[in-house]
Each structure stands twice: as structure tokens, then as C-alpha cells.
Amino acid sequence: MSPRSIAHQKLKPIGLGCMNLSHAYGTPPSEKEAIQLLHQGIDLGVDHFDTAALYGFGNNEKLLGKALKSHRHKFFLASKCGMTGVDGKRVIDGRPVTLRATIEQSLSNLQTDVIDLYYLHRWDKNVPIEDSIGELALLVAEGKIKSIGLSEVSAATLRKAHQVHAIAAVQTEYSLWTRNAEISVLDTCQELGAAFVAFSPLARGFLSGQVTGKNALVEGDIRRGMPRFQAEHMQRNLPLITELKSLSKELQCTLAQLSLAWLLHQGKHVIPIPGTTQLSHLTENMAASEISLTDKQLALLDKVFDYKKISGPRYPAATQVEIDTEEF
């Protein structure tokens, strides 16, 4: 499959989300194991690494800085601001003064002079989007970042931001299991020339067939608090995997590869960033870009995973109010 691009930078169709090397999904790997995986990613040709100030409250950026400093010329580096850890708690803060402080810390953590793509991780609804993007535009002018991105925003907010400064990418959850982007943002990105970076493209493990409910998750795993992983919703969602298995068997690929291939067929501007802690899964995910699906196969997947068939909201109520993305 042909390369994709962000801010005119040609990239492999699939990147690497690095969050779970530091937190969120159970016990993270040791630093030694995480660094080994990142080095293996470079060897495999991964050229797009995605992190954030929030992940591990700075530790994920530090991990990438330590592991990849000597390889910096080989890859596209994305990080995020506007949501960080303060006194052990996650805080959304899009004030210009905070964003400026965060970039300085991020550059230090990542051991680099410039970040290729810097996302506003969440829109702080107490701060006009124009003010936050205005400050990021100054960081572009100063050479600290090369391009600006947004995460979990609506098409309307994207358009407002784009009027202040060109938005190079929007990052939002998108998978067969989560189709909200299709309401408007996916098409708006294409219209404005922005890449669409799909996080959780394997539905936080559901689409790979590895996570079948809350009880399979260790304490501290963020999925334990997500509605779709609760028993009443999971029992309604699991039959979808049976349909996915049938098609993956026909194509002689894994569930994860089929799910990623479907995403890549949703537009040439779509770039999935699955995360993993295992080399076998990383290798498997990167190979998904070689899978071609027919119109009939795509239509079947669309029918099986119609958004009306998905049981449960993707976030708990308290988290849902923090995002700006359109919902069905």
C-alpha cells in the first residue's frame, strides 16, 4: 500500500502508539523491554512514533528520548499537550502559558530540538480553541514544533482551529467498533488536507480477540472502567468477533490485520497507530498494510459492525463530557 503523509511528510501507512509502554493497559513492560521493542520498531521500519505529555506523566516521552535519540533522523515524532499529570492527577489545561511550559518539558524529555507534530490532546472548553492554537502557532514560528494537531474534536472545532493555523492531523479513536469519526470529522479532515490518525484502531484489544471482558483485565487497567468492557455490553458485542474470524480465516490473516486493513481502506489520509508491547504483534500490525480488501468484503464488515449494533458508550460519563467528538 502506498505511503501516507502528515504535513507533507511521507510515512508508512501504520505508525506505533506508545502509550501502553508506560501506562493504561495493565502492568507496563520494564524499561529494558520497552527500549528493546522501540529499537525493534526502528529495525522493522516504523517511521512514526506517537507519545504524549500525559502518558506515564512524562515517563513515556522520557522513554522515547532515551531509546530513540540516536535514531531521531529516521522517524516522525508526535507528542501532545493540553492534558498532563499534575500532583498525580490528570488535568486538562489549554491555557497558552501551560502549553508553553509543556513544550519545554516535552523537548527535554524527548531529548530533541523539535517535535514534528504537536497535538492539543484535549480541547480545554474553558479556553477558546483559537487561543490554544494561537500559542501553538507561535511555537511553530519559533521552530519548536513543525506542525499542529488536534485530538478528540468535532468538525466545527477543527474548522475554527484551522482558521488560526493549518491543522496537519486530527487524532481520534476509530475502528470497526468505534465509528463516530464517520459522522463528520473524517470527511472534514480530507477536505482540509489534514491526516486522520486513528488511535485504538484495534478497539483496545477487543478486535484482536484478546480481551473478552472486564474480568480478563488486571487492577489499574483503564478498560475496567469503560462501559463496553462490562459484562452486560460485552456479551452483546462478542458475537461480532465471530463474524470477523470467519473473514480473517478466508483471507488467511489475523483479526488485528483485518481490522487495520479495513481502516486503511477508509481513506488515503487515514493512519492507524496501534500500540503493543510485543514484537510479534508489532510485526503483524505493520504487515496489515499489504492486505487488500474487495468492495464486497468492505461492505460485509460495514454491515456486521454497523454502529447501531455496538453495545455501550466508549467512555464513562465523566470522561465523555471532556471530549468534543460527535457522537451517534
The upper half-sphere exposure of residue 188, i.e. CA atoms within 13 Å in the direction of its Cβ, equals 22
How far apart CA 70 and CA 59 sit, in angstroms, is 18
Residue of 55, 118, 119, 174 marked catalytic: 55
What cell does 251 get?
483471507
- Among this protein's residues, is 55 annotated catalytic? yes
Q: Please, which residues bridge with residue 270 across strands?
A: 196
Nearest to 146, CA basis, from 117, 170, 111: 117
CA distances from 251 to 10, 246, 247, 248 (A): 28, 9, 6, 5
E strands, the chain, where? 4-6, 9-11, 16-17, 48-50, 76-81, 83-86, 89-92, 117-120, 148-151, 167-173, 195-199, 270-272
Positive or negative, the CA dihedral 149, 152, 154, 156 is: negative
Position 298, amino acid = L
Would you please indicate which residues are annotated as catalytic (active-site) residues? 55
